A and B are shown apart, each in its own frame.
Chain A
Amino acid sequence: MSSTYSSTSTAIATHDLLRVFGQKAAVNHLNLTIQRGEFYGFLGPNGAGKSTTIKMLTGLLRPTAGTAYVAGVNVWQDPLRARTVMGVLPEHLNLYERLSGREFLIFAGHMYGVPEADIRRRTEELLHILTLTDDAGKLIVDYSLGMRKKIALAAALIHRPQVLFLDEPFEGIDPVSSRTIRDILHDLTQHGTTVFFSSHILEVVERLSSRIGIINQGILVAEGTLQELRERASGEQKDATLEDIFLSVVGAPEEVHNLSWLEQDGEN
């Protein structure tokens, strides 16, 4: 099996990617092909296999079967080269909490082999743009969730990755920072970086993604641009939102609550 992927325009490719936990296939023969510069939104209900897929694509979880290529590099045959070209914001951040934000970015820069002068400059710029300059000297253990996300994102960006994996990047982020991050990610895709991100915030996915994949019970049940998904899922409903499409594709049950006592007057 080759450690490289022939197509230069493909940023991420998986072939029959499978991960089984006990009797359950968390990811079931997943086939993805994502082009360079794409902003790929990866959706799915809880436990659908999003994080498992990202872990397999980033070398943190061994697939039961199948192959995964990132920027043409086989993730499992040449892991060091694969890590060089990717930046990752994992689901569980697991940062070095006893380093300050600035120290962590400098450390990450060294780990990616970025020249010292560039590390210093990029660190200060990233801290500034993510409004972390005032807290850069504080230990990460004292950061809020949003600040942790931002510092982890900065560390994932410091080496200018070709492919960026973001697992729930907007969770716990305030609207101002969220807007900044969206701008950064948009700029990155304009310059050829591929962004693969999972999110529960459908409005963000709808606005940012050039293509969307929906996974349910480990199977990729729908994929395409928002327009393509609308046409496939809703048929005549031309202005369906991503939420409508998502619920339709994953087959969410429409249950009507029967808590009549909530509507009664009185204290109890």
Chain B
Amino acid sequence: MAIHADKLRWLFWLRWKTLTRGFSRRPASLVGAIVLLLIVLWGAGTIAVVTFLAYRNLTPPANSEVLYLVLTGVLLIWIMLPLLEFTSNEGLDVSKLALFPLTRAELMASLLFSTLLDIPTIGLVLLLAAVIAGWAVSVPMAILAFFTMLIFYVLVVGVSQLVLALFMSTLQSRRFRDLSIIIVAVFASSCYLVEQFVFGGGRFLHFTQSLQSGSYSLYLQWLPSGVAARSILMATQGNWGASLAWLGLLLVISVVVLYLWQLVLERSLSSPEVSGSARVRNRRRQQAVPLAVSPAARPGSANAQPAGVSIWGRIVSPQVSAIALKDLKYYWRDPQLKARMLPALIYVIIFLVGPLLNPDSSRFGGSAFTLVIVPLLVFLFLATLSLNTLGLERDSLTTLFLFPVPPRRILWGKNLAVFALGIVEFLILIAVGVFLSHAWNLVLPVLVVGLAGMGVTLGCANFASVYFPQYERPMQRGFRATGQTSQSGCLRAVLALVMLAATAILLVPVVLALALPYFLRAEWIWGITIPLSLVYGIAFHQVVTLLVAPRILKRAPEILAVTTRE
């Protein structure tokens, strides 16, 4: 197990180069890295300061409970991080290093060292430094705490890499990548629910009581993090023999973890690669079927209308139906689009769960306002999905533009898919809203006005999609999923805000058609204003779509240049 220092130096150089080259090739990633660094410094720094004060100022056993919780939290987060965030290895790509004659020890040492250049490691170091500072009440204690945390650091990184190596094939699978995008998007979108769950119902009070009674360490002491905590706590009680024994156990656990890591790593590198590409199957020998006699090759009218079409087929062209169906499948199967829809689901959940979690809150229930805001939520949802409808096709837009489809049908098909999703959300929210508010008299007006507003929103979205198409960066796994999804950055955000503002202004007639008679207590006027608002919504959508659609054909190469990356 020889280690050549020269090789380690060059491997560290490689990691440094890949890091800096990434920034020089894509300056935008430097901004992202700085933002992440600031977030890590702020988040981990705050926790480090708070826990340092807790170690020093809380009375036993509360301070030792905090130590157990912090170390266990660190361990769990570093186990979870590779599953949610890392692409292959944040330090170095092992599969590429395996091509070179490196010993196992060199490989593992280089991976350990290279993690020092990962931004999350800074957070880890801050938290462990707080532990050392918090418990260093004397020089021997400082030395012990330092060595305990040093071994604990190796253990944490080793466990993290072991998990990564164990689940490498799963992590590289398309299904897992998709799932992790959704998981993080759900997490990021449901802050309200998380806040309600963590801090609601007196749970914070229960937490402080548990700290005082020392009930967490009963369970956490059996974990490797508990072993590290025990080593420090025994020393603070003057029981140095026990302290060193726990430290020795921690060292043994770390060595075992490192051994298991290299074992798994070796196996994963020597096993045949099965993930990421389609498995090769035994195929039956291909029969030579001359295509000349196949109907596929017989001349036929490509534009002939299908015989015996359904009523739906007579109303909606097959091309529009096919595009709508394709888009609906994409909303179901594409994690990036699914993540876009999540806020809408969160609205529904908040509508359903909010009143249950906060029965005394005045924000929910008991008012017709609950029902009236429903269309606004749906308009926002529609705008989210359709403001960049061509850009959302991403590189596949090239394929769509190769088909002889009249551009208005492209927009209609895409609008139909978003409308179908919007109407489902609308009906659910109306049902919930009317259940909470008991404003049955508002159901029909809200429904009709909502439909009119959807027409206006989709019309505005079609205009924005054709005149201001944006590049949609493919989402990556993990927390990158919640990052900036457009390289246009601020411009895109400004455009979206301007379009939302314009849409809001154009929605004024629709809103007035509902609100004015209601506030004037002259609901009979709805008989005139609501049908008019529906006509306005439909006419607006149709006129705008027909006006902007030809531009898709005229400016196809320019739209592709903006929205695709070849």
Contact = CB atoms under 8 A, between A and B. Distances in A.
Interface of A: 58-62, 79-81, 83-84, 88, 90-99, 103, 106-108, 110-118, 121-122, 125-126, 128-129, 131, 134-135, 138-139, 141-144, 147, 157-160, 176, 180, 183-184, 187-188, 190-191
Please list the 6 inter-chain residue pairs (A to B) with the smallest Cβ-Cβ separation, ordered nearest first.
Answer: A111-B403, A110-B322, A83-B404, A98-B333, A84-B404, A122-B296
A59 to B, nearest CB: 6
Which has the most chain B C-beta neighbours within 10 Å: A114, A180, A188? Answer: A114
B345 to A, nearest CB: 19
Contacts of B291: 129, 183-184, 187-188
B286 A131 contact: yes
A80 B404 contact: yes
B174 interface: yes
Nearest to B286: A131
Interface string B393-437: 001111111111110000000000000000000000000000000
Given A84-B303, A84-B404, A142-B278, A111 B322 contact: yes
A144 B274 CA distance: 12
A84 B566 contact: no
Interface stretch (B51-59, B104-112, B129-137, B553-561): B553-561
B286 A160 contact: no
B333 A139 contact: yes
A126 B318 CA distance: 21
Contacts of B283: 131, 134
Given A79-B553, A191-B292, A99 B306 contact: no
Nearest to B177: A141
A128 B292 contact: no
Which has the most chain B C-beta neighbours within 10 Å: A80, A98, A184? Answer: A98
A94 B281 contact: no
Contacts of B558: 62
Interface residues of B, number: 54
Contact of A103 (B281, B329, B560): B329
Contacts of A135: 278, 281
A157 B296 contact: yes
Contacts of A144: 277-278
Interface in B269-305: 277-278, 281, 283, 286, 288-292, 294-300, 302-305
B330 interface: yes
Contacts of A110: 318-319, 321-322
B564 to A, nearest CB: 7
B93 interface: no
Nearest to B173: A142
Nearest to A128: B289
Given A115-B305, A118-B295, A157-B296, 19 more contacts: A60-B398, A79-B556, A90-B402, A92-B398, A94-B564, A95-B396, A96-B326, A98-B334, A106-B322, A111-B322, A114-B300, A114-B302, A115-B306, A116-B309, A142-B278, A144-B278, A160-B299, A180-B288, A187-B292
Given A94-B564, A122-B296, A187-B291, A59 B401 contact: yes
A62 B561 CA distance: 11
B278 A138 contact: yes
Nearest to B554: A79
B448 to A, nearest CB: 33
B288 A117 contact: no
A102 to B, nearest CB: 12
Interface in B313-343: 318-319, 321-322, 325-326, 329-330, 333-334
A213 to B, nearest CB: 23
B307 interface: yes
Contacts of A139: 333
Contact of B398 (A83, A90, A121): A90
A122 B307 CA distance: 17
A138 B305 CA distance: 30
B300 A160 contact: yes
Contact of B399 (A59, A94, A121, A129): A94
B290 A191 contact: no
A183 B325 CA distance: 34
Contacts of B400: 111
A146 to B, nearest CB: 9
Interface in B174-210: 174
7 contacts: A59-B401, A79-B556, A110-B318, A110-B319, A113-B303, A113-B319, A134-B281
Contacts of B395: 92, 94
A184 to B, nearest CB: 5
A263 B303 CA distance: 65
B294 A143 contact: no
A142 B557 contact: no
A113 B404 CA distance: 8
Contacts of A107: 322, 325-326
A99 B334 CA distance: 10
Given A111-B405, A187-B292, A190-B292, A180 B286 contact: yes
Contacts of B406: 80
Given A96-B326, A99-B326, A129-B291, A116 B318 contact: yes
B396 A94 contact: yes
